[in-house]
Structure 1
Amino acid sequence: MSLEPAAIEAAFLDACRTEVETLKPGNVHRFAPGHGMTVETFLDAAAAAAPMIARRGSSVGERVFAATKASFEAVGVNANLGIVLLCAPLAAAAETSGRGAPSSRTDRVGALRNGVARVLAHLDAADARETFAAIALASPGGLGTRADDDVRSAPSIGLVEAMAMAADVDLVARQYCNGFHDVFDIGLPAGDSAADEVASGLGDAAALAIYLAFASEFPDSHIARKYGMETAEACRKRFESFSNSLNGIADRQERLAAALAFDAALKREGRNPGTSADLTVATLLVRNLAEARAE
C-alpha cells in the first residue's frame, strides 16, 4: 500500500473525530467535557495537525514537531501530543509501504505493520531532536521523568533509543520500541471484535472497545505520571470491572447511565486515561489506513 497525503489526512481526521465522539469514561468526548477541554479543543487541534502529519516526504521528527506546533497554536494547550507521536510513524509508513494494494485487509494491515518497522528502523538523531523540541513545546510531563529531563538538551542518539529510556513507564514510547505491538495486537483485535450493540448509544463500537481494552490492560501512563503507578493500577482495575459489567447491560439507557456515572466519578477525581485515548486514535488510524484507497 502507498497512500497519497489527502488519503492519510482524511484517515487521521476520521480517527480523531471518531474517538472524541465516543463516550470514553474519564476522557473528553461529545457526551461531556473534562479536564478544562471540550470536544472542539480536540477537533480544532486535529484539523491543525492533519496536514503536517500527512505531509509527503517529511521525516517522522518533522511531522511530530510541525503537527505539535500547529496544534498548540490553534488551541493554546497540549491537546494531542501523544496522538501526534503515535500517528506520525503510521502516516510515514502508509506513504512508503510499497506500491499497489494487497488483496485483503489482513494483507494491507501486514504491509502497514512492515512499513512501520522500516520507518522505526531508520529514525535518527534528527528525528529525536525534532521530537524532543515538540515535547518541550507542548510541556506535557511527556515521556516520563528520565526522557523529560533529556528534552532540555539536544540528543545525540536516535529516536528509538531515546524512547527506550521511557518505554518501561510510558506506553507511547513503548510503541516505538516494540513496533507498535500493542496497537496491532491489542487495539486492532479489540476493535475488530466489537459488537455494535455493546456501544449502542455510547458512540462508535470499535472506538469504545479499543479504549476499554487499553484502559483495562495497562495502568494508564498519563495517570501514572500524575498520580503514581499505584493509582494508575487501581484505575486499571476499575476499568476492567466496568468493561465486564457493561457487557452485561442490555438496556441502552442503563448502559448510558452507567457509563456517564463512571465518567463523572473519574473526572471528579481528575483521573484521565489520556494515553489509552491516544492509543485508541492510533488504532483507529491503522483501521482507516488499511481501508483507504492506495495509489
Structure 2
Amino acid sequence: MTATGPDAGPSSAGAGPVPPPDAAIDPLIRDAFLAACRAELQALKPGNVHVHAPGHRMTVADFEASAAAAAPFVARRGASVGRRVREGVEATFAAVGTNTNLGILLLSAPLAVAAERRAAALAQGRASPFRAVLGQVLAELGPGDARDVFAAIRLANPGGLGAAEEHDVRAEPTAGLMEAMRAAADRDSIAAAYAENFEALYRLGLPVIGALDHGAAILPDTVTEIFLTYLSALPDSHVVRKWGKTVAEEVRLSAAEYLQKRGSPGFEHSLLGWDSALKARGINPGTSADLTVATIFLHLIDGDK
C-alpha cells in the first residue's frame, strides 16, 4: 500500500458527501481536529504550507477550508475508520479540489474512533488507557475499512503514488486494512503508525509537548519543534516516494542540524531560508507535517495525559 502526499495537482471540486447532522457529530472530537489542523498552520514548517509562506500551489486558506470540510466526517459518531477517511477526503476535494489532508485523515480517523469509544466506556464506569483502546480499534480494522481507505487514496492520488506488489490501492483489497498497513510499514511512516500502535507519536511527538508544556495552548514554536523532531528522526515518506532515499536523508540530516540550533539568534530567519530552498526544489516533507497534526490531535483527545 502507498499512502500520502499533499501535492497532487488541483482538480475540479464537485459535490461532496452530505455532512452529518449536528446530533451525529462529536463536538469534542470535531473541535480537537480543527484545533490541531489550525495549530499546525501557525507554525513554521520548512517545505510545507504555513502562515509565513504558501507553497506547492497551495495556501493556508486551502488547508483551513479542508479542515473545516473534513472535521464533521472525522467526528461522525459511530462511523468506521475507513468511512471517516473516505468521506473526509471526498469532502476535502469538494471544498478545495486537491489533496491537502489524506495523511492527516489516515492518522486522525483511528484516534477519533478510539476517543469516542473510550468516552463511551468512561460514561459506563469502565476505564482503559487510551492507547489500549486505540490498539483495539486498529486490531479490528477489516476489509470494509480497506475498501474505504483504498478509495480515498485513489481519489487523493498523492504525489509519488506507485504500484505495490501486494495491497495495491488500485485493486480491490484482498485482506483487512491492518494487513495492508503492516505490508507497507517499512516504507511509509503512516502505515508504520498503524502497525506499531502509533509508537512514533508516543515516542517522538508527545514528549515534545510534555517538555514544552504551555497549558491548553500549543504554541507555534512547540509545533515547529514537533515537526523538526519527526523530520530529523524519520526519513519523510513523501520525500522518499517523490525524490528518493538520498534526498530524504539529506533533508533528515538538515532537520537534525536545525533542531540543534533552535532558540539560537537568527534561528527563525535561517529556518525561513531553508523553507524557501526546499520549496524552490519542490520538496515537501508532507508526512512529517501529517504526523505533527496527529500528535496535536492525540494530545487534545487523550484523557490519559
Normalising by structure 1, report the TM-score.
Answer: 0.87
Note if contact 1:192-1:206 (Cα within 8 Å) is conserved in structure 2. no
Counterpart selection for 1:233 from 246, 249, 260: 249
Structure 2 counterpart of 1:166:
184
**AA aligned opposite 2:276:** A
* SS of match in other structure, 1:146: coil
Sort the Cα spacing of 1:147 and 1:17 in 2 relative to 1 into closer, same or farther, 3 A. Answer: farther
| Equivalent position SS for 1:29 | coil
Cα deviation, residue 291, structure 1: 5.8
Which of the residues 276, 284, 288 maps onto 2:288? 276
1:180: which partner in 2? 198
The separation in 2 between residues aligned to 1:155 and 1:48, in whole angstroms, is: 27
**CA distance in 2: counterparts of 1:176 and 1:52, whole angstroms:** 20
Counterpart residue number, 2:20: none
Counterpart residue number, 2:116: 95
Task: Give the Å deviation of 1:191.
Answer: 2.1
Aligned residues: 273
Of 125, 139, 146, 2:143 maps to 125
Distance 1:137 1:51 in 2: 19
The one-letter code sitting in structure 1 at the alignment partner of 2:253 is K
- Take 1:142 and 1:75, find their aligned partners in 2: how far apart are those partners? 20
Inter-CA distance 180–147: structure 2 relative to 1 (3 Å threshold): farther
Runs of 4+ with deviation above 2 angstroms: 98-101, 141-145
Among candidates 180, 187, 207, match of residue 189 of structure 1? 207
2:60 counterpart residue number: 39
Where does structure 2 lack aligned partners over 5 or more consecutive residues? 1-24
Alignment of 1:57 with 2:75, yes or no, is no
Q: Partners of 1:140 and 1:38 in 2: how far apart? A: 17
Match of 2:18 in 1: none
Q: State the identity %.
A: 47
Q: How does 1:211-226 map to 2 (within 5 A)?
A: 211-226=227-242
> Does 2:262 correspond to 1:246?
yes
1:26 touches 1:273 (CA, 8 Å); kept in 2?
yes
- How far apart in 2 are the matches of 1:21 and 1:188? 18
Change (3 A) 1:291 1:209: farther
Deviation per CA, 1:9-28, whole angstroms, max 9, x where unpaired?
00000000000111111111
Q: Which amino acid aligns with 1:50?
A: A
**8 Å CA contact retained: 1:56, 1:95:** yes
Give the counterpart letter for 2:34 in structure 1.
L
Indicate how the Cα distance of structure 1 residues 166 and 41 shifts in structure 2: closer, same or farther if over 3 A, else same.
same
RMSD: 2.2
Q: Displacement, 1:262?
A: 1.3
Q: Structure 1 residues 75, 129: closer, same or farther in 2, change over 3 A? A: same
Partner of 1:290: 302
- Corresponding position of 1:21: 42
Give SS of 1:55's match: coil
**Map of 1:10 onto structure 2:** 31
Q: Residue 155 of structure 1 corresponds to which residue in structure 2?
A: 173
- CA gap of 1:10–1:26, structure 2 versus 1, over 3 A, is same
For 2:14, the equivalent position in structure 1 comes to: none
The equivalent residue for 2:94 is: 73
**Structure with greater helix share of residues:** 1
Structure 1 residue ranges without an equivalent (≥5): 102-107, 197-202
